[in-house]
Chains A and B, each alone.
Chain A
Amino acid sequence: MCLAVPAQLVQLNGSDGIADLHGNRVPVNTMLVPEAAIGDWILMHAGFAIQRLAFEAVQRTWAVLEDLDAAIVQSSSSECSSHDDQGGASCPNE
């Protein structure tokens, strides 16, 4: 419930906006960060912007999340390879 994620504000009408969340467009309320403007990077929690962020901080967070994705994919591949070594089924991604 306390999870917050970085997103970019792409539309704003009063305090009702739309944020780009890594490709997903989601509604966001900017009442808690009234200085937020279109193009700003924000930290989003439960439909509200709670902080403006510097782009470098956002890049760092997304990079870590992408690393995590890569690690999960790598881990899955390793498991498949391991199965192959033991005569198991081939990994469908290979």
Chain B
Amino acid sequence: MPQRVTTARHALDRLGDAAASAGRPMTFMEVCGTHTMSAARCGLHSVMPATVTLLSGPGCPVCVTAQGDIDLIIEAAFVPGVTLCTYGDMLRVPGRRGSLERARSRGADVRIVYSAMDAVKMAQQLPGRQIVFAAVGFETTAPASAVSVTHARELGLTNFAALVSHKRVIPAMTGLLESGSVHVDGFLCPGHVSVIIGSEPYRPIVDMYGIPCVITGFEESHMALGLACLAEQVRDGAAELVNLYPEAVSSGGNQVAQQLMHQVFEPADMRWRGLGVIPRSGLALNQEHREFDAQLRLGLSAPEDREPRGCRCGDVITGGCVPPDCELFESVCTPILPIGPCMVSSEGSCQAWFKYKRLHVAPIAQMTPTEVTS
């Protein structure tokens, strides 16, 4: 046990040394909901040097899902004869007509599934119902959706379909850099997405944008070491791709999962909360599997994006502000009665902030422009 404590402390010492000798503030961004929650839970922000800022980027799958796509899922739940299957994270996200939880209380058949395959099993068990699976999430989750679609096809199921709004993390990162809305000195890359896609896809961010990328796991020592590695690169004027999670992440990733995704999905323009539409940043069912597209099958049109009034989730997930900058935070938006998805999701920045009271970090509105952007 003492050795593990020393490891985290050693990493923080390295981070402190690099931050001190760099002579300028640094802003890093993690792009993973589990990193967001892990950093908040272990108090990482409270032990980082004052000149180092760690922002949460577009990494929480629930938070990045555009409001229109959430409304579409809720609309599907209200279609007569439909059983809507969702991962638990999505249940309480508010939409135009309330949340899925509210829809269930009003008579819609909404079920929480642990795995996409549970939805396929349900389609076998309930032949008289249309089973619609809400397929959201990044590349970690997309292969499971691909397997469910291929399995439904093998079984000849005509009552299984998916509302697909899967997203790809690399286009989100490049989209954020292209937008120029936030200055980032380095990315802490998502460990479990990287298990699937591998480390190599981050290389263009390093080579083309000169931004260091470090892949880490989720333990506090891992994350602290990742931050130290980023800070040392900034201090040295370097930009490299470093994989600090080699026990799970290879350079090429999980080839079987990639192949399955390729068989079922194709890259598609995707709308994101806070980022708008990013070309080829999402996955859609390809022509061969379009018969499983729930939106087409149910004849639903995609609702427009209408953010809840006053909600700044879009800014929170793009590094434009931190939760306390939002006027709704802790006043009317709480985990019990959330207004925006970042307060709903167990991986959302607002909920992490609320639960672990990162009050020592000043709201961005109170920082000087230099602290925020340089």
Contact = CB atoms under 8 A, between A and B. Distances in A.
Contact of A1 (B33, B220, B248): B33
A48 B62 CA distance: 20
Interface in B120-169: 136-138, 140-141, 143-144, 147
Given A2-B141, A64-B4, A45 B192 contact: yes
Contacts of B190: 2
B219 A2 contact: no
Interface in B238-278: 247-248, 254, 256-257, 260
Contacts of B143: 32, 48, 50
A47 to B, nearest CB: 3
Contacts of B256: 31-34
Contacts of B89: 1
B367 interface: no
A48 B147 contact: yes
Contacts of B147: 29, 31-32, 48
B254 A4 contact: no
A51 interface: yes
A7 to B, nearest CB: 13
A1 B59 CA distance: 10
Interface residues of A, number: 27
A1 B1 contact: no
Interface stretch (B20-28, B109-117, B289-297, B298-306): B109-117
B246 to A, nearest CB: 9
A3 B4 contact: no
Interface string A1-33: 111100000000000000000000001010111
B6 to A, nearest CB: 13
B83 interface: no
Nearest to B193: A2
Interface residues on B, range: 35 or more
A1 B347 CA distance: 8
Given A2-B141, A48-B144, A32 B61 contact: no
A34 to B, nearest CB: 6
Contacts of A67: 1, 4
Interface string A42-86: 010111101101101100110110011000000000000000000
Nearest to B137: A1
Interface of B: 1, 4, 32-34, 42, 59-62, 87, 89, 114-118, 136-138, 140-141, 143-144, 147, 190, 192-193, 195-196, 217, 219-221, 247-248, 254, 256-257, 260, 345, 347
Interface of A: 1-4, 27, 29, 31-34, 43, 45-48, 50-51, 53-54, 56-57, 60-61, 63-64, 67-68
Report, nearest first, the 8 A-B pairs whose CB atoms are least far apart.
A47-B115, A57-B247, A1-B61, A64-B219, A2-B140, A32-B257, A4-B192, A48-B144
16 contacts: A1-B33, A2-B34, A2-B59, A2-B140, A2-B193, A3-B347, A29-B115, A32-B254, A32-B257, A46-B141, A47-B114, A47-B117, A47-B118, A48-B144, A50-B195, A63-B1
